[in-house]
């Protein structure tokens, strides 16, 4: 290749790379605009015959239900502008609870009949609801001030706390005043005396319990002490069983894989149930059999997330896909989809690698230095990685994490550039 051709190709690649990065930083478009696919949570009925879930059709998220074998799919909630998600069922199986997100991304709590009829709003737009569960007499939810939604840690003193409200939307009470930065995976004990949820304690996510009568918050005593970090989870008090997702031992540092684990609380061994090498979310125990329903995040860690409903037997590890006849997109989104592909993290990584290889070739042709580009890129990756710790301490930990991921992503391209430099140098010497 001529030196000018290599230079022009490098400049074109640089422009494409800069445009892709700028698009990701500046683009505030909702990744689910026009999306068609499953939402991120599922809930089984008490008799295990039905599964409730949210589903996007052309960006509109609604509550659906289907038979557990995937048949008889029906949409039971029909929103206009808002997105409806995270269904939960009352203990007697007669009422449905769900969240409704408005254009400002504030989520409100709704209750309806099991078929979706007679919906009633239980919370107003001054509070953002993150999770909600039924008890026998009232509803508990995790909420925070709507004004604090979207603000980073340190930008606001408002955070998540436990709340309760009756089924008529009256007598709303704030039960805690801890202002947690994260508070999720809300669950309730069989007798309704304790609420369980996940908090980040500075090192990892742990399950905490809130006793309704004495209003105390403490670590949940049924969680085995040897269980380290955990993410999504479900607890079956009757079975004395616990299932959760955690980073697998096979994960590499560039992209953790989250597998599903099972623990009989009367035993002392934890069992890994999946080896999907992706991410597992929303596990839910079957009530009448030894199985767990869950969603596999099949394009982990892409956006928008694509999920597949699966079940696994926690005795045999036998796994099944649940195929449902869900409505397809009625609109064409090829331009948006193409733009998402060409500005994805994978595309950026490829462009960066190609740019380094072209600059390596140009550097060799002009200066006779085949390794300089790869070494500079590798040193830059190290500098960015070190700076991520400094920025994480001085500003926001999540900013530090994001920058460290960028630094780690630079390493493969740098190594490939060094290999290309080695091959160019070796080939050039052979041809002399």
| CB half-sphere exposure, 422, CA atoms < 13 A | 7
Q: How many domains does the chain have?
A: 2
331 lies in some domain: no
Each residue's pLDDT tens digit, 258-292? 999 999 999 889 999 999 999 999 999 999 999 99
Q: Check: CB of residue 358 under 8 Å from CB of residue 10.
A: yes
Are residue 200 and residue 96 in the same domain, yes or no? yes
Are residue 72 and residue 15 in the same domain, yes or no? no
Are residue 240 and residue 105 in the same domain, yes or no? yes
Instruction: Give the helix/strand (H/E) hosting 242.
Output: strand 241-247
Are residue 125 and residue 144 in the same domain, yes or no? yes
Question: How far, in Å, CA of 242 to CA of 57, rounded?
Answer: 33
Q: Which pLDDT score, from 0 to 100, does residue 344 have?
A: 84
| CB half-sphere exposure, 85, CA atoms < 13 A | 23
Predicted TM-score of the model (pTM): 0.80
Q: Which pLDDT score, from 0 to 100, does residue 396 have?
A: 63
Are residue 348 and residue 276 in the same domain, yes or no? no
Radius of gyration for the chain, computed over Cα atoms and rounded to the nearest angstrom: 25
Q: Where are the beta strands (DSSP E) in 268-339?
A: 270-272, 280-285, 291-297, 307-313, 319-321
Q: Check: CB of residue 202 under 8 Å from CB of residue 181.
A: no
Are residue 17 and residue 69 in the same domain, yes or no? no
Q: 428 pLDDT band (50/70/90 cuts)?
A: confident
Instruction: Give the helix/strand (H/E) hosting 113.
Output: strand 107-113
Are residue 16 and residue 63 in the same domain, yes or no? no
- 313: domain CATH number is 2.120.10.30
Domain boundary among 260, 287, 321: 321
Are residue 424 and residue 312 in the same domain, yes or no? no
Q: Check: CB of residue 198 under 8 Å from CB of residue 208.
A: yes
Q: Which pLDDT score, from 0 to 100, does residue 152 have?
A: 65
32 lies in some domain: no
328 lies in some domain: no
Query: What are the backbone angles phi and psi of residue 24, rounded to the nearest 5°?
Result: -65, -35
Torsion of CA 188, 194, 199, 202, to 10 degrees: -160
Domain boundary among 288, 321, 354: 321
Each residue's pLDDT tens digit, 157-167? 789 999 999 99
Q: 384 pLDDT band (50/70/90 cuts)?
A: very high
Percent of the chain with pLDDT over 70: 96
Q: Which pLDDT score, from 0 to 100, does residue 339 have?
A: 82
Are residue 10 and residue 153 in the same domain, yes or no? no
337 lies in some domain: no
334 lies in some domain: no
330 lies in some domain: no
* Tokens representing residue 291 in the block: 């199985």
**Residue 395 φ/ψ region, left for φ over 0, alpha for ψ in the -120 to 50 degree band, beta for the rest:** alpha
Are residue 349 and residue 245 in the same domain, yes or no? no
Are residue 18 and residue 100 in the same domain, yes or no? no
- Domain carrying residue 423: 3-27+343-431
Q: Check: CB of residue 216 under 8 Å from CB of residue 208.
A: no
* Beta strands 216-219 and 205-211, pairing class: antiparallel
Are residue 288 and residue 405 in the same domain, yes or no? no
Residue 94 has pLDDT above 70, yes or no: yes
Helix, strand or coil, per DSSP, at residue 369: coil
Torsion of CA 222, 227, 230, 235, to 10 degrees: -30
């Amino acid at each position: 290749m001529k030196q000018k051709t290599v230079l022009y190709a490098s400049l074109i690649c640089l422009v494409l790379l800069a445009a892709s990065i700028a698009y990701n930083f500046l683009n505030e478009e909702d990744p689910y605009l026009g999306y068609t696919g499953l939402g991120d949570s599922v809930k089984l009925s008490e008799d295990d015959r039905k599964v409730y879930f949210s589903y996007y059709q052309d960006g509109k998220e609604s509550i659906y239900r289907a038979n557990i074998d995937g048949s008889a799919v029906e949409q039971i909630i029909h929103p206009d502008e808002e997105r409806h998600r995270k269904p939960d069922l009352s203990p007697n199986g007669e009422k449905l609870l769900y969240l409704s997100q408005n254009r400002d991304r504030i989520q409100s709590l709704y209750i309806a009949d099991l078929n979706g009829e007679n919906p009633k709003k239980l919370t107003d737009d001054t509070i953002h609801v993150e999770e909600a569960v039924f008890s026998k007499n009232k509803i508990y939810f995790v909420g925070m001030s709507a004004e604090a939604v979207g603000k980073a840690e340190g930008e606001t003193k408002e955070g998540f706390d436990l709340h309760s409200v009756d089924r008529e939307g009256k007598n709303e009470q704030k039960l805690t005043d801890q202002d947690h930065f994260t508070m999720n995976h809300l669950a309730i004990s069989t007798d309704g005396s304790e609420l369980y949820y996940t908090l980040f304690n500075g090192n990892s996510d742990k399950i905490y319990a809130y006793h309704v009568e004495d209003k105390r918050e403490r670590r949940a005593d049924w969680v085995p002490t040897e269980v380290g970090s955990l993410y999504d989870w479900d607890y079956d008090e009757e079975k004395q069983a616990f299932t959760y997702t955690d980073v697998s031992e096979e994960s590499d540092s560039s992209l953790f894989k989250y597998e599903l684990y099972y623990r009989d609380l009367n035993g002392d061994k934890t069992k890994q149930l999946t080896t999907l090498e992706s991410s597992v979310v929303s596990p839910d125990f079957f009530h009448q059999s030894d199985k767990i329903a869950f969603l596999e995040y099949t394009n982990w860690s892409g956006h928008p997330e694509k999920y597949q409903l699966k079940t696994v037997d926690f005795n045999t590890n036998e796994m099944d896909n649940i195929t449902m006849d869900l409505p397809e997109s009625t609109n064409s989104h090829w331009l948006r989809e193409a733009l998402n592909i060409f500005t994805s993290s994978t595309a950026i990584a490829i462009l960066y690698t190609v740019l380094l290889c072209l600059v390596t070739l140009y550097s060799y042709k002009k200066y006779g230095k085949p390794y300089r580009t790869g070494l500079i890129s590798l040193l830059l990756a190290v500098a960015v990685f070190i700076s991520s710790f400094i920025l994480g301490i001085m500003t926001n930990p999540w900013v530090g994490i994001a920058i460290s991921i960028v630094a780690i992503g630079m390493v493969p391209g740098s190594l490939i550039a060094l290999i290309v430099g080695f091959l160019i140098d070796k080939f050039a010497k052979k041809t002399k």
